Amino acid sequence: MTTALDQLKQYTTVVADTGDFQQFAQYKPQDATTNPSLILKAVQKAEYRPLLEKTVRDHADESVESIIDHLLIAFGTEILKIIPGRVSTEVDARLSFDTKKSIDKAHHIIDLYKAAGIPKERVLIKLASTWEGIRAAEVLQKDGIRCNMTLLFSLAQAAACAEAGAQLISPFVGRIYDWYKKAAGPNWDEAKDGGANDPGVRSVRSIYAYYKKFGYKTEVMGASFRTTSQIVELAGCDLLTISPDLLQKLHDSTETVERKLSPEASKNAEIARVPVDEASFRFLVNDDAMATEKLAEGIRAFAADAVKLEKLIQEVRAH
């Protein structure tokens, strides 16, 4: 029997969402995504401790910030030895509201990859989908540096990213689902509100349809999944980035996976264009309580994990 994972790959590019690159071989993903939280999680495992210690040792006379940059590139380089496609490396979330510093950090990351023998075509720079992050992506794309817009929760953010010419967006399915489920409380009915009606799934479907209807080239990569059902409901999306535990469940399953999204079906979608000027963007995101809360929460969480990573590096350096 054909696995659900193999069936999914017929319609969608499968991406591994992890810093734990030793798990890649059996799933054969095309691309991989990382973030500070995933790298922090990985370096606390015994098998990655030598990579952390070597990076700290090799750059002992540099700042902690610089060592983190080298650590991100070390993971990215190892990942690219295994996968045929691209790796996403994230700009520090604490720069989410600083366009210039985000641009400078992105160029620095690309330069470090270049020094490691990795061409920029194999790297996607991850930026938060704030107004400032989107403006940074606009500049970087013109410089030939491809961007993956993360922490994306609304059509307003997606429309602005597409107009800026971003290579790819990562709408967060599971976090949208989490917010609506928590807001509904005891009134949440998984049978009625999940599956095709899952608010995270519906959000990505609307973004996908918007892009295809208006001919945007920006790729849509569903992210942050909680269940295989959410993944299967988005079969046909350009890309889906999936954690190892859910990749394993898809690998072990033989349920039928049918294409749910297609460019052809989206051409006739009844969707109005979304204004993408700064005032409209800020109002539309602010008007969406879920998007506002989840964007802020996501930036805080990634920033907190960056601080934890700094402390871990300081501890390793002290020994």
Closest by Cα among 27, 37, 43 to 84: 27
Residue 23 predicted with pLDDT over 90: no
pLDDT at 319: 84
CA 213 to chain centre: 23
Q: What are phi and psi of 307, to 5 degrees?
A: -65, -40
Mean pLDDT of 248-265: 96
Q: 220-249 burial string, b = 16+ CB within 10 Å, else e? A: bbbbbbbbbbbbbbbbbbbbbbbbbebbbb
pTM of the model: 0.96
Give the tens place of pLDDT for each residue, 269-287.
899 999 999 999 999 999 9
Residue 25 predicted with pLDDT over 90: no
pLDDT at 36: 82
pLDDT at 205: 97
Give the tens place of pLDDT for each residue, 135-170.
999 999 999 999 999 999 999 999 999 999 999 999
Instruction: Measure Cα distances from 130 to 19, 52, 154, 279 in Å.
Output: 24, 31, 11, 13
pLDDT at 142: 98
Closest by Cα among 173, 172, 266 to 211: 266
- Report DSSP state, residue 274: P
Query: What percent of the chain has pLDDT above 70?
Result: 100
Closest by Cα among 216, 180, 185 to 197: 180
Q: Which CATH number fits domain 4-318: 3.20.20.70, 3.40.50.620, 2.120.10.80, 3.30.870.10?
A: 3.20.20.70
| Catalytic residue of the set 126, 212, 260, 294 | 126
Structure tokens at 72: 């991100």
> Amino acid letter at 115?
A
pLDDT at 268: 85
Per-residue pLDDT band for 33 (boundaries 50, 70, 90) equals very high
Instruction: Measure Cα distances from 175 to 16, 124, 154 in Å.
Output: 18, 22, 12
Mean pLDDT of 169-192: 98
Does residue 126 carry a catalytic annotation? Answer: yes
pLDDT at 269: 87
Structure tokens at 164: 């800026």
Per-residue pLDDT band for 206 (boundaries 50, 70, 90) equals very high
Average pLDDT of the chain is 96
Per-residue pLDDT band for 189 (boundaries 50, 70, 90) equals very high
pLDDT at 14: 97
